[in-house]
Structure 1
Amino acid sequence: MRITDLTVRYGSRTVVEGLDLDIPPATVVGLVGESGSGKSTVARAVTGLVPYRGTIEGPARHKVQMVFQDPYGSLNPRMTVGASVAEGLAGGRAGTLSRVQRAAEVERLLSLVSLSPRYAARYPRELSGGQRQRVAVARALGTRPELLVADEITSALDVSVQGSVLNLIRSLQAELDLSMLFISHDLAVVRYVCDRVAVLHQGRLVEEGPVEEVVAAPRMAYTRALLDAVPRPVSA
């Protein structure tokens, strides 16, 4: 995907201005910045959820899928896990598949996110936060996306399960060669998951490059401040 001169306004307020960003094939690009920097607005523009000015070139809209921050809010509480995952099958295939075929595809998708097929019969309220987020990822993968947008997908989870979800994202990207826009306020998380990183400050892109280069030698004071905010282990 290539994003050129992206500008998003809410009323008279400009939230994102003049953003240029490339997301190469089979690459995870991290978009990082503090709360209110415009990261989630970029995600919503990319997925067509908010109007914007500028150009977004890349996969067709149905080939771009988003996983939201709150896994409980993004799942229908009245639908079983299996029904939620089946609803997103690529190209509306859910209605063309037999019951056995649909169940097999749901099982495959749950397996991709390391969930047992028995979870298909459960409801979101019966799952942990980490399990619900895995279901949300499985549903997004059901469309066979060319670009996955992950918007702060671990920030609503307990610290104890954040690592497992990040490991899942890394393994899925390697297995499926996904292109991904990974949004976070935490440069340590971005460094672990991403190939490249773009730093957003007050709606403007201030630094971009290979993640190890940016982390090792940030050019901008704002990027250095984000690095300084990363918790470090205390020496004994």
Structure 2
Amino acid sequence: MNIDRLTVRYGSFTAVDGVSLEVPKGSVTGLVGESGSGKSTVARAVAGLTPYRGTVTGVAPGRVQMVFQDPYSSLNPRMSIGDAIAEGTRVPRAQRVAEVGRLLELVALPATYAGKYPRELSGGMRQRVAVARALAARPELLIADEITSALDVSVQGAVLNLLRELRGELGLTMLFISHNLAVVRYVCDAVAVMHQGRLVESGPVEEVVGAPRHEYTRTLLDAVPRLARA
């Protein structure tokens, strides 16, 4: 996927200013920055959820799926887990029960959870369901928008490990949004750093983390002491 000079304005306010970024097929590219940097706005624009100027190519319309930050509000509380996942599947109706079971097992949940409701699941389990629901549509691009930031620290690692496993198993192409460079380093191949709506630095994740060129990137690294010393 290629993003070229993507710009998002809300009235006189420019939230994203001319961002260009490549996400190679089969790779995980991180988009990192503090709150208000514009990273989630880029994600929403690529997903077709907000108007923008510029171009997004290399991914078919309707083949982008997004997993959102809050697992408690992203699932319909009146819809069973199975129905929520089946809603987005691309298989014939007669095969949906089996497909839902396959997707649940893919995210390390029992197929029997199809009959449960969101209120019966923990935050980490709900986020796994959200990933399964996104995968049901067989996306060409999966966008993960701060998907661990609302979870307890004890379950964040499990969700990140799941993404790494799915990437290896399915060859997913992913845009991974985060404010945490330590998380990005663990999950991503490359990283782009946003500040005040603009892209200030990008490159292979180990290069950006190991030898940051921009002062703002160094500031982000300083906020994660273990990374800064690595």
Q: What TM-score comes out, normalization by structure 2 length?
A: 0.97
Give the Cα–Cα distance (whole angstroms) in 2 for the partners of residues 61 and 32 of structure 1: 25
Q: 1:232: Cα distance to partner?
A: 3.4
Where in structure 2 are the equivalents of 1:156-195 lying within 5 Å?
A: 156-195=150-189
* Contact 1:33–1:185 (Cα < 8 Å) also in 2: yes
Cα deviations by residue, 1:123-176 (Å, 9 ceiling, x for unpaired): 001100000000000000001111000000000000000000000000000110
What is the count of residue pairs matched by the alignment? 227
- CA distance in 1 between counterparts of 2:199 and 2:107 reads 32
State the Cα distance separating 1:72 from its structure 2 match.
1.6
Q: Which of these residues, 203, 211, 216, is aligned with residue 217 of structure 1?
A: 211
**Which stretches of structure 1, 4 residues or longer, exceed 3 Å deviation after superposition?**
none
Secondary structure at the counterpart of residue 132 of structure 2: helix
Percent identical pairs in the alignment equals: 72
What is the letter of the counterpart of residue 59 of structure 1?
V
| Unaligned 5+ runs, structure 1 | none
The residue that corresponds to 1:27 in the other structure is 27
Amino acid at match of 1:197: V
RMSD: 1.0
Shift of 1:11: 1.4
- Hey, what does 1:232 align to over in structure 2? 226
Superposition pairs of residues 41-190 of structure 1, within 5 angstroms: 41-90=41-90, 93=91, 96-98=92-94, 101-190=95-184
* Other-structure match for 2:3: 3
Inter-partner Cα distance in structure 2 for 1:89 and 1:118: 18
Partner of 1:14: 14
| Contact 1:32–1:184 under 8 Å retained in 2 | yes
Amino acid of the structure 1 residue aligned with 2:170:
L
1:26-50 Cα shifts (integer Å, max 9, x gaps):
0000000001000110000000000
Distance (whole Å) between structure 2 residues aligned to residue 60 and residue 72 of structure 1: 29
Structure 2 Cα separation of the partners of residues 151 and 195 of structure 1 = 17
Retained in 2: the 8 A contact 1:62–1:143? no
Shift of 1:231: 4.7
* Runs (5+) with no aligned partner, structure 2: none
Structure 1 distance, partners of 2:102, 2:93, is 14
TM-score calculated relative to the size of structure 1: 0.94
Where 1:62 maps in the other structure, the secondary structure is: coil
